Chain A
Amino acid sequence: MTGGPLDPGHLIDLGIGGPRRIRRRLPPGEAVRSTLIALVSTAVVFGLLAIAVTSSPNWADVQDKFFNGAIFSRSLPKIVEAFGTNVAMFLIAEVLTLILGLVLAILRGLPGPVFFPLRLIATVYVDFFRAVPGLLIVALLGFGIPGLGIEGVPGDPFLWGLVALTLVYAAYVSEVYRAGIESVHWSQEAAARSLGLNRLQALRYVIVPQAVRRVIPPLLNDFIGLQKDTVLVSTLGVVEIFRESQILKQAAFNFTPYLDVALVFVVITIPLARLTDWLVARDRARHASNR
Chain B
Amino acid sequence: MTASVPRAALGIEGLHKSFGDLEVLRGIDLDLAEHEVVCLIGSSGSGKSTLLRCINLLEPIDAGRIVVEGDEITATGVDVDRIRRRIGIVFQAFNLFPHMSVLANVSLAPRKVLGLGRAEAEARATELLDRIGLADKRNDYPDRLSGGQQQRVAIVRALAMQPDLLLLDEITSALDPELVAEVLNLIRELAGNGMTMLIATHEMGFAREIANRVCFLDAGRILEIAPPAEMFSAPREERTRQFLQRVIDAGRL
A residues near B (Cβ < 8 Å) are: 187-188, 190-198, 201, 205-206, 209-210, 213, 290
Q: Are B93 and A194 in touch, CB under 8 angstroms? A: no
Chain A residues within 8 Å of B82, by CB: 196
Q: Per-position contact with A for B102-131: 1 when CB-CB < 8 Å, else 0?
A: 000000110011000000000000000000
Residue among B89, B97, B99 making CB contact with A194, cutoff 8 Å: B89
Q: Would you mind naming 15 contact pairs between A and B with Cβ atoms under 8 Å apart?
A: A188-B97, A190-B95, A191-B95, A192-B97, A194-B158, A195-B109, A195-B113, A195-B158, A196-B81, A197-B108, A198-B81, A201-B112, A201-B113, A205-B97, A209-B99
Q: Are A210 and B108 in touch, CB under 8 angstroms? A: no
Please, how many angstroms separate the alpha-carbon atoms of A195 and B105 in the complex? 11
Please, how many angstroms separate the alpha-carbon atoms of A290 and B113 in the complex? 30
Interface residue B91 (Cβ < 8 Å from any Cβ of A): yes
Residue of A nearest to B93 (CB): A187
Q: Are A196 and B108 in touch, CB under 8 angstroms? A: no
* Chain B contacts with A in 153-172, Cβ cutoff 8 A: 157-158, 161
Q: Are B99 and A196 in touch, CB under 8 angstroms? A: no
Residue among A187, A191, A194, A197 making CB contact with B112, cutoff 8 Å: A197
Which 3 residue pairs across A and B have the least CB separation, nearest first? A196-B85, A195-B109, A191-B95
Interface residue B88 (Cβ < 8 Å from any Cβ of A): yes
Chain B residues within 8 Å of A210, by CB: 97-99
Contact count A vs B, C-beta below 8 Å: 58
Shortest distance from the beta carbon of B213 to any chain A beta carbon, whole Å: 24
Q: Are B95 and A195 in touch, CB under 8 angstroms? A: no
Please, how many angstroms separate the alpha-carbon atoms of A188 and B56 in the complex? 15
Q: Are A194 and B56 in touch, CB under 8 angstroms? A: yes
Residue of A nearest to B143 (CB): A290
Chain B residues within 8 Å of A209, by CB: 99
Interface residue B65 (Cβ < 8 Å from any Cβ of A): no
Residue of A nearest to B81 (CB): A198
Chain B residues within 8 Å of A198, by CB: 81
Please, how many angstroms separate the alpha-carbon atoms of A201 and B109 in the complex? 10
Please, how many angstroms separate the alpha-carbon atoms of A249 and B135 in the complex? 68
Please, how many angstroms separate the alpha-carbon atoms of A137 and B84 in the complex? 47
Shortest distance from the beta carbon of B227 to any chain A beta carbon, whole Å: 29
* Chain B contacts with A in 74-104, Cβ cutoff 8 A: 81-82, 84-85, 87-89, 91, 93, 95-99
Q: Are B108 and A195 in touch, CB under 8 angstroms? A: yes
Interface residue B58 (Cβ < 8 Å from any Cβ of A): yes
CB-CB under 8 A for A205 and B108, given A195-B157, A197-B81? yes
Chain A residues within 8 Å of B98, by CB: 210
Tell which of B81, B82, B91, B161 has the most Cβ of chain A within 10 Å: B81
Shortest distance from the beta carbon of A126 to any chain B beta carbon, whole Å: 27
Q: Are A196 and B161 in touch, CB under 8 angstroms? A: yes
Residue of A nearest to B58 (CB): A190
Residue of A nearest to B95 (CB): A191
Please, how many angstroms separate the alpha-carbon atoms of A196 and B109 in the complex? 7
Q: Are A191 and B91 in touch, CB under 8 angstroms? A: yes
Please, how many angstroms separate the alpha-carbon atoms of A190 and B95 in the complex? 9
Please, how many angstroms separate the alpha-carbon atoms of A191 and B109 in the complex? 11
Shortest distance from the beta carbon of A212 to any chain B beta carbon, whole Å: 10
Residue among A188, A201, A290 making CB contact with B95, cutoff 8 Å: A188
Residue of B nearest to A195 (CB): B109
Q: Are A194 and B108 in touch, CB under 8 angstroms? A: no
Shortest distance from the beta carbon of B200 to any chain A beta carbon, whole Å: 15
Chain A residues within 8 Å of B108, by CB: 195, 197, 205
Shortest distance from the beta carbon of B242 to any chain A beta carbon, whole Å: 32
Shortest distance from the beta carbon of A14 to any chain B beta carbon, whole Å: 27
Q: Are A197 and B109 in touch, CB under 8 angstroms? A: yes
Tell which of B99, B143, B157, B158 has the most Cβ of chain A within 10 Å: B99
Residue among A193, A206, A213, A290 making CB contact with B97, cutoff 8 Å: A206
Chain A residues within 8 Å of B89, by CB: 194
**Apart from A193-B84, A197-B108, A210-B99, what 17 extra A-B contacts exist at CB < 8 Å?**
A188-B95, A191-B95, A191-B96, A194-B56, A194-B89, A195-B109, A195-B113, A195-B157, A195-B161, A196-B85, A196-B113, A197-B109, A198-B81, A201-B112, A201-B113, A209-B99, A213-B99
Q: Are A187 and B109 in touch, CB under 8 angstroms? A: no
Chain B residues within 8 Å of A188, by CB: 95, 97
Q: Are B81 and A194 in touch, CB under 8 angstroms? A: no
Residue of A nearest to B83 (CB): A196
Shortest distance from the beta carbon of B8 to any chain A beta carbon, whole Å: 21
Chain A residues within 8 Å of B157, by CB: 195
Residue of B nearest to A191 (CB): B95
